[in-house]
Amino acid sequence: MADVASRGGLVLAATPLGDPGDASARLVSALAGAEVIAAEDTRRLRALAAALGVTTTGKVVSFYEDVETSRLPKLLEALREGQTVLLVTDAGMPSVSDPGYRLVAACVAEDLPVTCLPGPSAVTTALALSGLPCDRFCFEGFAPRKTGEKAKWLAGLVDEPRTVVFFESPHRLAATLREAAEVLGGERRAAVCRELTKTYEEVRRGTLPELAGWAEDGVRGEITVVLAPAPPRSVRVADLVGEVADRVAAGERLKSAAAEVATATGVSKKELYDAVLAARRS
């Protein structure tokens, strides 16, 4: 890791989710050698460094959401001068639902060097522990807070064919799981992962109603939810003819409308196209 610190550039470093023992040797070296450390919470940074037995020698600056934009000019100036800027957040990988994206984008725009020290991630850790399919998944960040936005978001997951991972605050968890059960159905399975890698780590698995009932008693800590993919639906070509006809009536070309509906539902494009033509003739 010393070579990264010596050649300068932005270094994104994943930090432990809870257990300091998960810190990589490269992270330890980077903390000791970076000329500038941009930290989401400087107090947590110093606690982590103390737990790892590291003495930081570089300048430490705060880099949380409310000051992210205002801190960019000074950090970019340091990077242009060839300094090493180490970016760390409270836990996990910077820029993944944490500060960092704007700084990375600014570095890319100026062709400044950027590298990454891989490590802990609540997303992949929860996914692996969930017992749900891991071959295809999507990450949704934090669940929407507002009722209308949350309802729309959940509606978009009704037919989601991939496993879904998202974050939620403990005091909103029960309500989100209840609403998810109503929108997605009582048979949809999920896993709630709490306090990953920490002393009171807990993983609860079950249907959405079961998990909502468990969360009603109150939940504490950092929460990551893993939602099972939607079960495949059996769709008949004849049932989709009307949908294609409606889209054509709204101005779409028949061929493209039939292709999009077929792709979304998994039926044959040719069969659906031919069925629409047959319905027109009859």
State pLDDT tens for residues 97-139: 899 999 999 999 999 999 999 999 999 999 999 999 999 999 9
Rounded alpha-carbon distances, angstroms, from residue 50 to 25, 117, 189, 193: 15, 20, 41, 27
Q: What's the structural domain count of the chain?
A: 3
| CB of 166 closer than 8 Å to CB of 143 | yes
- The predicted model scores a pTM of 0.80
Q: What pLDDT, in 10s, does the model give residues 60-103?
A: 999 999 999 999 999 999 999 999 999 999 999 999 989 999 99
- 114 and 15 belong to one structural domain: yes
- 27 and 84 belong to one structural domain: yes
- 16 and 110 belong to one structural domain: yes
13: Cα within 13 Å, side-chain hemisphere: 33
Signed CA dihedral, 216, 16, 52, 45: sign only:
negative
Q: DSSP letter at 238?
A: G
**Residue 232 covered by a domain:** no
- 146 and 83 belong to one structural domain: no
- 80 and 21 belong to one structural domain: yes
- 29 and 7 belong to one structural domain: yes
- 148 and 170 belong to one structural domain: yes
CA dist., res. 197 & res. 201, Å (int): 6
Which residue range(s) make up the domain with 132? 123-227
**Residue 165 covered by a domain:** yes
Q: What is the CATH number of the domain that holds 172?
A: 3.30.950.10
- 63 and 6 belong to one structural domain: yes
